[in-house]
């Protein structure tokens, strides 16, 4: 069984468990276990060498009962239809749990952008649009950047879409650079969203944030803005963990009196890799990679990669840890999840905690459709309201039904989608 098959099997398994708890009938279960539609296609590209190379692409729309499908496009050499199906399914639950009027989709191309020139990448972007144009659009399916794609790819795709359709439709795709339809606040949105949830969770746990310490894994986009916001809110981030380019392995960087996120950003590259020598010179302790888990802190934020908090590491959590906020996608393995539940640590699940990014993408689309742009403060204020409301809806349900936060989040998300399908008469 391939790793990728496991991702979709896992997404279906998670769904089956919640469907059982919700008592969904057989027809609804079958509808929601599968993508509504998917497209597999080829993109022939004349390479710089003069030879034609054929790339394989996908677009999967898991569900669009609550609104146009929404989700990124990944460029990855190991991309498969099953990874894309799983990610599309998770997008449906993510847009639903934060209650934005969108569904879930995902796309991909099997390729390694590191090995492609800009011109070749542009041809792949334009070819991708040529193949999916009948299936996507501002009122059907709104793509975005994801692994190894960024604003430039989105603009090539937008340009091709507009060439074919003959209009200006900036709301067709999100993640565009500011000034060409992008939204202010997008860079900070995911990390800030994590911390809006943390702020609210600490209130529910009756913990004073000014007396709380946090340990964060990662120092990329999500982790950097999580660290900055936690400090803005009065808390102290005592360590961050990230990759080191010299030794080709990760380390934990610790400063007991609080890391300075702005300083660390100045000494890190655009991939979130801190310069170890400069950190050491500034008085940071350089500890082994996994040390971020073993700290005397109240809040843990895994914000680097999937499968980081494992069954082996979870028993090393200090008794001080009261809250885990999953900034990354899938950072907690099922074995670790059980231990966290047994220890009654509050866990804000990934598809709620890191939904600030897609919420801001939705705001980008709204601004595009109005052709009227908000200030950064307006965007972040609206983001705070959405994330705060979503967090409390999940925490209230978890309390009322005495269920784990992850289960409560799935129950809310799946029930909303099932209800929309039911009202439409689909099942
Ligand atoms: P990024 O590439 O900007 O940063 C990743 C960070 O993780 C880097 O600092 C890197 O050094 C560190 N890292 C990599 N391997 C590590 C290891 N083994 N140990 C410790 N640190 C390690 O990525 P990002 O955009 O910040 O995304 C992080 C996670 O959040 C991913 O799971 C991503 O899918 C998820 N996510 C991101 C967004 C977003 O808007 N950026 C939205 C939702 C979810």
Per-residue model confidence (pLDDT) at position 306: 87
Q: Nearest CA to 23 among 396, 309, 376, 411?
A: 411
In CATH terms, the fold of domain 34-170 is Rossmann fold (3.40.50)
Site to probe by mutation for ligand 1, drawn from 189, 195, 220 as the one with most ligand atoms within 8 Å of Cβ, is 220
Q: What is the DSSP string of 307-327?
A: S-B-TTTGGG--TT--EEE--
**Residue 297 three-state SS:** coil
Residues 251 and 286: beta-carbon distance below 8 Å: yes
How much is the pLDDT for 369? 94
Q: Is 295's C-beta closer than 6 angstroms to any atom of ligand 1?
A: no
Partners of residue 45 on adjacent β-strands: 53
Q: Which of 30-34, 71-75, 303-307, 318-322 has the lowest mean pLDDT?
A: 303-307
Whether the pLDDT of residue 4 is over 60: the answer is: no
Q: Tell me whether domains 34-170 and 188-348 share a fold.
A: yes
Catalytic residue among 70, 94, 106, 276: 106
**21 part of the active site:** no
Q: How far is the CA of 222 from the centre of ligand 1 (A)?
A: 7
Pull the structure tokens for residue 186.
């997008």
State what percent of residues in the chain have pLDDT above 90: 94
- pLDDT per residue over 76-86, tens digit each? 999 999 999 99
Neighbours of 216 (CB within 10 A): 32
DSSP-assigned beta bridge partners for residue 104 = 63
Does residue 187 line the site of ligand 1, with CB under 6 A? no
> Among 163, 170, 175, which Cα is nearest to 129's?
163
DSSP state of 399: H
Give me the pLDDT at residue 141, please: 98
Phi and psi at residue 306, to the nearest 5°: -80, 160
From residue 16, give the alpha-carbon distance in Å to each of 11, 29, 106, 413.
Answer: 9, 7, 21, 14
Mean of pLDDT values over 181-208: 97
Tell me: pLDDT of 3 over 70.
no
Over the stretch 95-134, which tens digit does the pLDDT of each residue have?
A: 999 999 999 999 999 999 999 999 999 999 999 999 999 9
From start to end of 255-302, where are the E strands? 285-288, 299-302
Mean pLDDT in residue range 49-77: 97
Question: To test ligand 1's pocket by mutation, which of 86, 104, 218 has the most ligand atoms within 8 angstroms of CB?
Answer: 218
Cα gap 103→228, rounded to integer Å: 31
What mean pLDDT is reported for the chain? 96
Q: What is the mean pLDDT of residues 383-406?
A: 97
Quickly name the fold that domain 188-348 has.
Rossmann fold (3.40.50)
What's the 424 CA to ligand 1 centre distance in angstroms? 38
Question: Atom 42 (ligand 1): residue with closest C-alpha?
Answer: 357
Give the number of other CB atoms < 10 A from CB of residue 115.
Answer: 8
User: For the chain, what's the residue count?
Assistant: 427
CA of 342 to the centre of ligand 1 (A): 27
Q: Is the CB of 191 under 6 A from ligand 1?
A: no
Taking residue 148's Cβ as centre, other Cβ atoms within 10 Å add up to: 19
Cα angle at 230 between 228 and 235, to 5 degrees?
A: 125
pLDDT band at 270 (very low <50, low <70, confident <90, very high): confident
Write out the H or E segment, with its range, that includes residue 42: strand 37-46
Of 272, 332, 358, which is best to mutate to test ligand 1, by the most ligand atoms within 8 angstroms of its C-beta?
272
The full set of domain ranges for the chain reads 34-170, 188-348
Give mean pLDDT, residues 328-346.
94
Instruction: Spell out the SS3 assignment of 61-74.
Output: EEECCCCCEEEEEE
Interval between CA 426 and ligand 1 midpoint (Å): 37
In 120-276, DSSP assigns E strands to 141-145, 213-217, 236-244, 249-254
Q: Write the pLDDT tens digit of every residue in 138-190.
A: 999 999 999 899 999 999 999 999 999 999 999 999 999 999 999 999 999 99
Does any ligand 1 atom lie closer than 6 A to the CB of residue 65? no
Is the pLDDT assigned to residue 313 strictly greater than 70? yes
């Amino acid at each position: 069984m391939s790793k990728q098959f496991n991702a979709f099997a896992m997404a279906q398994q998670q769904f089956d468990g919640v469907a059982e708890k919700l008592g969904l009938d057989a027809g609804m279960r079958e509808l929601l276990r599968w993508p509504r539609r998917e497209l597999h296609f080829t993109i022939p590209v004349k390479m710089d060498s003069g030879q034609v190379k054929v790339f394989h692409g996908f677009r999967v729309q898991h569900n669009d009962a609550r609104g146009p499908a929404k989700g990124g496009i990944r460029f990855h050499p190991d991309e498969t239809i099953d990874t894309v199906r799983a990610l599309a399914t998770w997008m449906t639950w993510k847009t639903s749990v934060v209650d934005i009027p969108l569904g879930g989709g995902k796309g991909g191309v099997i390729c390694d952008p590191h090995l492609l020139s800009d011109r070749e990448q542009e041809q792949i972007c334009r070819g991708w649009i040529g193949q999916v144009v009948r299936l996507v659009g501002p009122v059907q399916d709104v793509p975005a950047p994801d692994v190894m794609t960024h604003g430039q790819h989105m603009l090539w795709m937008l340009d091709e879409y507009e060439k074919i359709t003959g209009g200006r439709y900036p709301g067709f795709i999100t993640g565009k650079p500011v000034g060409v339809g992008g939204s202010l606040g997008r860079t900070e949105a995911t990390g800030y969203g994590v911390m809006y949830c943390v702020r609210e969770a600490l209130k529910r746990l009756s913990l004073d944030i000014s007396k709380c310490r946090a340990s964060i894994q990662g120092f990329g986009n999500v982790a950097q803005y999580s660290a900055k916001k936690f400090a803005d809110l009065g808390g102290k981030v005592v360590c961050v963990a990230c990759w080191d380019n010299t030794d080709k392995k990760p380390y934990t960087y610790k400063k007991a009196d609080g890391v300075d996120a702005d300083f660390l950003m100045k000494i890190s590259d655009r991939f979130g890799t801190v310069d170890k020598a400069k950190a050491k010179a500034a008085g940071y302790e350089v500890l082994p990679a996994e040390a971020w888990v073993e700290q005397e802190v109240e809040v843990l934020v895994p914000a680097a990669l999937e499968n980081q908090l494992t069954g082996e590491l979870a028993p090393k959590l200090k008794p001080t840890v009261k809250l885990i906020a999953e900034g990354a996608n899938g950072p907690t393995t099922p074995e670790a999840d059980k231990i966290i539940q047994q220890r009654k640590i509050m866990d804000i699940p990934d598809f709620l905690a890191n939904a600030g990014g897609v919420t801001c993408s939705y705001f980008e689309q709204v601004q595009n459709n109005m052709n009227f742009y908000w200030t950064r403060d307006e965007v972040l204020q609206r983001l705070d309201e959405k994330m705060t409301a979503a967090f409390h809806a999940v925490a209230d349900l978890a309390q009322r039904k005495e269920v784990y936060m992850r289960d409560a989040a799935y129950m809310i998300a799946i029930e909303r989608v099932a209800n929309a399908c039911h009202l439409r008469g689909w099942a």
